[in-house]
Structure 1
Amino acid sequence: MRVAFFVNSIEDETPNFSTTALALAALGRGHEICYVTPSDFVLRADDSLSVWGRTLPVSSYKKTETLHKDLVGDKAETRMFDISEIDVLFLRNDPSLDANDRPWAANIGVIFGRMAAQRGTLVVNDPDGLAQAQNKLYFQDFPASVRPTTLISKNIKEIRDFIDGQKKGAIVKPLQGSGGKNVFKVASPKDANLNQIFEAVSGEGYLIAQAYMPEATEGDVRFFMMNGRPLMRDGKYAAFRRVPAKGEIRSNVHVGGGPAPVEVTDTMLAIAETVRPKLIQDGMFLVGLDIVGDKVLEINVFTPGGLNNLSQMYDTNFAETVITALEEKVAIRQAYGQRLANRELATL
């Protein structure tokens, strides 16, 4: 099969990205891959959909570093594919990275992903489901039992009143965003920096204020789910702890958070079971839950990262399990055609 990975840009890809691990796994199983960016779609006058894809030379890649070097170097070439030549379109972009500088690009994956699905290509995660998840407000549709106490507002008085009701303080962050950008811990509504924090964060739109959970000092757990269930391979769960760097409240790896092995608990599995119906309903094939204590802080449905960390930590190739699942879906699509809707097939 041919798998197209939709990303924000080729230049911003790295060997450590989960997308690179997935591409390596696909090539390792004998499939063809290409990379697609927001400017690569073409809808012609006859209603045919094509895409320019950056392809790699036929090679037996063993390391993500080698694959990435060829991807960004002169060994890769760009060619056009009719969308019927793409078996799987894997949407792996982060819309928030394009929201300010390239707002036209932020929703392109969802828009053209929907068109690709209508023409018979398997698109994961389902574009209609992703359309509902353009910001963190999507998380509020999940059961209240797994969500921390939360306020969403642009009103400073509302935010002060909320923080005043949280004995252990609150976390304030933008509604639209990712990667731990502009995330602050506020101890009380009298915090001298609150006005500055409000000005910095509210400039990006609505704010989220969440009750602070002391367990977060130990970091959060990135817990992968596939087809609505915990991602497993060789009896191991695809989960790891992201430990904050000293002096940091954020556990994101790119701001110094360190990955560490974690033992999956009954509480984590109960959380996974609670969110499962909504993930299946929305066609969310591969997602990452960020868990602290008995709550989920965020659900990453666009670009859940950490597959490379997992591979090194547990000596287990979870990326290959993801590709195997896609193979099964493509086989089902070939057998049943369009009788199965994309959203149904995405989490089957």
Structure 2
Amino acid sequence: MRIAFFVNSIAGEGPRFATSLLAMAALNRDHEVVYVTPGDFSLLANGKLAVHVKVLPATKYKKPETFHAALQDKALESRTIDVTEIDALLLRNDPSLDLVTRPWAAYAGILFGRLAAQRGVIVLNDPEGLALAQNKLYFENFPEIVRPPALISRNIDEVRRFVEKHRKGVILKPLQGSGGKNVFKINSISEANLNQIVEALSVEGYLIAQPYIAEAREGDIRLFLLDGKPLKQGDTYAAMRRVPAKGDLRSNIHAKGTAEPAVITDEILSLAEHVRPKLVMDGMFLVGIDIVGDKILEVNVFTPGGLWNIREQSGVDFSGHIIKSVEKKVLLQTESQERIDNRQLATL
């Protein structure tokens, strides 16, 4: 089986990225692995979709650093193939990283992923579902019971009214963004820099305001969902508690947050069950949900990370389990008498 991983750039990949662990697991299960970046597609005049790929050596890897060295090798084989020669295309890019410097690249995965799916390639997460989730506005379509109230606006007066209503403080962040970038806590409307913060965030577009949840001081819980259900092996869930660095309100690992073991309660599983129907409907194969208290703060459908941290804490490598699910989908598509819709297949 040939599995393609679509990323922002090969140079930007790290040895302990979730994508690297997934690619290692695929190689260790004797699959061919190729990498694709936003500029690697060519829709030809005859209607065929060509893909210019980097081919990983057919080697088994134990250490992510060894795999990363192979991925970054300047002599890595380049090949041009027809997209139909790919069995599964995993869209693992973060659009927010390209929005400013390479806006043409931000949604290339969705655009060409659609074309690939139309030609019979299994594309995960489903590109039509990802198109609905291009910013945090997607989160507002989930049941109200699982999410805090939010304001999405660029209007300073609306923001002031929202802050005044929530006396324990408000979190402001860009509607489009990831990794804890440009996240601010506002305690009251009397803060001198409120106007400047709103103005700065508005440069990038709309902003989202959410009430500050006191439990956030203790961090949040990142829980992975696979095929709409909590990812689990034996009694261990693919989950971690992300604790903010001292003096920081962000728990993102990229923002120097630290990872600790997480206890998954029935209440957390109930939250996951509330979001499952929509995730399945939208073809969201692999998702990370971020939980504080009794609310979900974000649903991460683009390249959710943390598998390495979870592996370090629990001793369980979930990447092989995820690749097994990809194998199952390819087999289902191959054995089916009729072609299964990609969005449906994505969570089977």
Q: TM-score, normalised by structure 2?
A: 0.99
Deviations 1:290-331 (A, max 9, x none): 000111111110110001111111111100000000000000
Whole-angstrom CA distance in 1 between matches of 2:84 and 2:209 = 45
Matched residue, 1:247: 247
Matched residue, 2:303: 303
Whole-angstrom CA distance in 1 between matches of 2:78 and 2:116 = 19
Deviations 1:151-203 (A, max 9, x none): 00000000000000002110000101111111000001111121121122111
Matched residue, 1:128: 128
Matched residue, 2:330: 330
**Alpha-carbon deviation of 1:74?**
2.7
**Alpha-carbon deviation of 1:97?**
0.7
1:11 aligns with 2:6: no
| Contact 1:147–1:296 (CA under 8 A) maintained in structure 2 | yes
Matched residue, 2:171: 171
Matches within 5 A, 1:144-155: 144-155=144-155
Deviations 1:21-49 (A, max 9, x none): 00011011111101100000111111011
| Contact 1:57–1:75 (CA under 8 A) maintained in structure 2 | no
Whole-angstrom CA distance in 2 between matches of 1:313 and 1:23 = 21
Aligned letter for 2:347? T
Structure 1 stretches of 4+ moved >6 Å: none
Report the more deviating stretch, 181-190 or 194-203.
194-203
Matched residue, 2:158: 158
Identity %: 58
Whole-angstrom CA distance in 2 between matches of 1:96 and 1:107 = 9
Aligned letter for 1:343? R
Whole-angstrom CA distance in 2 between matches of 1:44 and 1:281 = 32
Matches within 5 A, 1:12-91: 12-91=12-91
Matched residue, 2:116: 116
1:216 aligns with 2:216: yes
Whole-angstrom CA distance in 1 between matches of 2:184 and 2:334 = 49
CA-atom RMSD in angstroms: 0.9
**Alpha-carbon deviation of 1:75?**
4.2
Whole-angstrom CA distance in 1 between matches of 2:129 and 2:287 = 12
Aligned letter for 1:122? I
CA, structure 1 residues 147+22, in 2 after alignment: closer, same or farther (shift >3 Å)? same
Matched residue, 1:264: 264
Deviations 1:54-82 (A, max 9, x none): 11122221111111111111342111111
Aligned letter for 2:310? L
Matched residue, 1:185: 185
Aligned letter for 2:322? V
Whole-angstrom CA distance in 2 between matches of 1:341 and 1:59 = 33
Q: TM-score, normalised by structure 1?
A: 0.99
Secondary structure of the residue that 1:339 maps to in structure 2? coil
Whole-angstrom CA distance in 2 between matches of 1:206 and 1:58 = 45
Matched length: 348
Matched residue, 2:226: 226
Secondary structure of the residue that 1:33 maps to in structure 2? strand
**Alpha-carbon deviation of 1:337?**
5.9
**Alpha-carbon deviation of 1:118?**
0.6
| Contact 2:333–2:340 (CA under 8 A) maintained in structure 1 | yes
**Alpha-carbon deviation of 1:233?**
1.1
| Contact 2:28–2:59 (CA under 8 A) maintained in structure 1 | no
Whole-angstrom CA distance in 2 between matches of 1:191 and 1:90 = 44
1:314 aligns with 2:314: yes
| Contact 1:234–1:316 (CA under 8 A) maintained in structure 2 | no
- For structure 1, the residue ranges without an aligned partner over 5 or more in a row are none
Whole-angstrom CA distance in 2 between matches of 1:338 and 1:153 = 45
Matched residue, 1:277: 277
